[in-house]
Amino acid sequence: MVACPVDPAELVDDADQRIFLHGHRFADYEILLALRGDCAGPRLFFLDGEIELMSPSSSHESVKKTIARLVEAFADERGLELNGFGSWTLKDGPLERGAEPDECYVVGATTRDRPDLVIEVVWTRGGLDKQAIYAGLGVPELWIWKRPNHLSVHRLAGEAYVEVADSVALPGLDLVELCRHVLGPSQSQAVRAYRAALRA
């Protein structure tokens, strides 16, 4: 077990905390999931023998929740059927991939075994390659938010993601407008201002 090396610039009070476990089997990952159960705890990721345990900071959680509320407001304003599944545990033993996203959504019917959209917040650099994990799990669209306030959209093309300008999962969503509201004074004010912009 080792701590994740962190860039000195990232050593702030609100940095995410990470621990890596090297040289493990997928079964070890599943044991950790079972031991943690449904209790709140670190998010667990698995990629090719590496396990990452990540405890997000309050700033990380605030950003991901604000984005989620804005996405849900957009879907509500546009009359889209959107179902949120939070940190749904996604895993595939034979492919040695496992993840618990910041947020994830299914558009339309909820009977799928994978979300249509995963949102990941990168508050503190480092960690396993989330694009490789989600691509292996077959998630069609991945959004990555990075400081100071940049949101990129990635679509699965074959076995890897390509960055695209617009969301296919949520057509018509203006990413620039959404980002304008992510770091507002409060989540409620951000959602109210975003709804007003959508109605204008």
Q: What is the dihedral of CA 47, 53, 55, 56, to 10 degrees?
A: -10
69-82 pLDDT per residue, tens: 999 999 999 999 99
Map tokens 């980002």 to a residue: 179
Give the global pTM. 0.86
135-160 pLDDT per residue, tens: 999 999 999 999 889 999 999 999 99
Q: What's the sign of the alpha-carbon dihedral 173, 175, 177, 180?
A: positive
Q: What is the rounded end-to-end Cα distance, in angstroms, of the chain?
A: 53
Full set of structural domains in the chain with CATH: 58-199 (3.90.1570)
Give the pLDDT of residue 178.
Answer: 96
Q: What's the sign of the alpha-carbon dihedral 37, 55, 57, 150?
A: negative
63-122 pLDDT per residue, tens: 999 999 999 999 999 999 999 998 889 999 999 999 999 999 999 877 778 999 999 999
7-65 pLDDT per residue, tens: 444 445 577 777 778 888 888 888 888 887 766 678 899 999 999 998 888 899 999 99
